[in-house]
């Protein structure tokens, strides 16, 4: 099976080209605003649109992604809080396992529940190790998954978790400080994880400025995800 989206991320990572994803939460963006939102995303030259939320009502993601698809050619990648957010209108799916947590529901159960939706699907499925780092807030991911994030200071544990994910066959590692985090993933943690893995690294949560974005890149993030700052219209990357 070909994996064009993963190949794009892998080859950018090899060449040191940095990628940007804008995260849209279907619950928080009105379908009427989609063409306006798409214009803002195109202006930022984002490489991907991620779609997902920790709590999204059934069916909302599919209609939202369908509308989005009609308005842009930017690849749309699902970043699901649960299996009900899987829809074939997107291009790809981050097949997440919450490796920082010890809740079987988010390690394997949700993935099994998604299978009936994926049987005849054309979605590119990308095995992704998802690691929650303490961003100083009770993030939605923490609440929904009832798991404990890795403290920012525990770099050793974060690195071991990422490397274990790589050994398990994950193709991407995603370091997540939580949507709207007070503290984004710290640069030392990003660079130590990056040094120890040979797969691309995604970083997100609490990134609000071009300076933070560039520091995340400089320390080893291959792809940065921005949600809240874009939602609040205070990320212009200028
Ligand atoms: C593989 C499939 C089909 C599902 C995976 C399900 C897993 C393991 C999810 C990981 C845990 C989780 C709840 C992730 C949420 C990811 C996400 C979409 C975060 C962004 O949403 P937030 O911004 O935190 O949520 P709200 O905006 O809804 O508060
Ligand atoms: O909303 P923000 O804080 O940008 O976080 C983006 C993403 O990593 C959240 O899952
Ligand atoms: Mg959000």
Q: Is residue 76 part of a domain?
A: yes
pLDDT of residue 31: 79
Distance 57 CA to ligand 3 centre (A): 14
Residues whose CB is less than 8 angstroms from the CB of residue 74 and which lie 6 or more positions away in sequence, other chains included: 38, 41, 42, 46, 47, 48, 49
Residues whose CB is less than 8 angstroms from the CB of residue 88 and which lie 6 or more positions away in sequence, other chains included: 121, 122, 123
Q: Are 184 and 137 in contact (CB under 8 A)?
A: no
Tokens for 172, please give them. Answer: 């991407």
pLDDT of residue 188: 98
Q: What is the mean pLDDT of the chain?
A: 96
Q: Is residue 116 part of a domain?
A: yes
CB of residue 175 inside a 6 A radius of ligand 2:
no
Q: How far apart are CA 119 and CA 54, in angstroms?
A: 24
Q: How far apart are CA 233 and CA 183, in angstroms?
A: 19
Residue 129 annotated as part of some ligand binding site: no
Q: Is residue 152 part of a domain?
A: yes
Pocket test of ligand 2: the residue of 227, 229, 234, 235 to mutate, having most ligand atoms within 8 Å of its CB, is: 227
CA distances, 3 to each of 124, 142, 194, 228 (Å): 6, 30, 22, 29
pLDDT of residue 30: 83
Nearest to 12 by CA among 55, 62, 75, 69: 75
CB of residue 135 inside a 6 A radius of ligand 2:
no
Distance 52 CA to ligand 1 centre (A): 6
Q: Is residue 133 part of a domain?
A: yes
Distance 15 CA to ligand 3 centre (A): 30
CB of residue 205 inside a 6 A radius of ligand 2:
yes
Q: In this model, does residue 84 exceed pLDDT 80? A: yes
- Domain count of the fold of the chain: 1
Q: In this model, does residue 238 exceed pLDDT 80? A: no
Q: Is residue 236 part of a domain?
A: no
Q: Is residue 212 part of a domain?
A: yes
Q: How far apart are CA 202 and CA 220, in angstroms?
A: 9
ipTM above 0.90, yes or no: yes
Q: Could you tell me the residue range of the domain that residue 116 belongs to?
A: 4-11+18-231
Q: Is residue 238 part of a domain?
A: no
**Around Cβ 233, how many Cβ atoms within 10 Å?**
8
Query: Which atom of ligand 2 is least distant from the CA of 79?
Result: 10
Write the CATH number for 38.
Answer: 3.20.20.390
pLDDT of residue 96: 98
Q: In this model, does residue 126 exceed pLDDT 70? A: yes
| Ligand 1 atom 6, closest CA | 82
pLDDT of residue 234: 86
pLDDT of residue 233: 92
Burial bucket for residue 57 (CB in 10 Å: 0-12, 13-18, 19+): exposed
């Amino acid at each position: 099976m070909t994996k064009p989206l993963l190949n794009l991320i892998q080859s950018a990572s090899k060449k040191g080209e940095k990628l940007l994803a804008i995260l849209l939460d279907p619950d928080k963006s009105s379908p009427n605003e989609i063409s306006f939102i798409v214009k803002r995303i195109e202006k930022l030259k984002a490489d991907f649109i991620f779609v997902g939320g920790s709590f999204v009502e059934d069916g909302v993601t599919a209609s939202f992604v369908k509308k989005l698809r009609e308005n842009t050619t930017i690849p749309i990648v699902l970043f699901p809080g649960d299996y009900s957010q899987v829809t074939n209108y997107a291009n790809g799916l981050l097949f997440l396992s919450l490796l920082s947590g010890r809740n079987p529901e988010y390690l394997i159960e949700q993935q099994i529940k998604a299978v009936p939706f994926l049987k005849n699907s054309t979605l590119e499925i990308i095995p992704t190790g998802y690691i929650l780092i303490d961003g100083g807030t009770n993030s939605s991911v923490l609440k929904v998954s009832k798991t404990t994030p890795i403290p920012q200071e525990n770099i050793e544990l974060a690195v071991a978790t990422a490397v274990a994910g790589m050994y398990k066959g994950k193709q991407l590692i995603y370091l997540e400080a939580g949507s709207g985090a007070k503290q984004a993933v710290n640069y030392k943690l990003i660079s130590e994880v990056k040094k120890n893995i040979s797969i691309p690294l995604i970083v997100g949560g609490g990134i609000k400025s071009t300076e933070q974005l560039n520091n995340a890149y400089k320390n080893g993030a291959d792809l940065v995800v921005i949600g809240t700052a874009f939602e609040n219209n205070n990320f212009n990357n200028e």
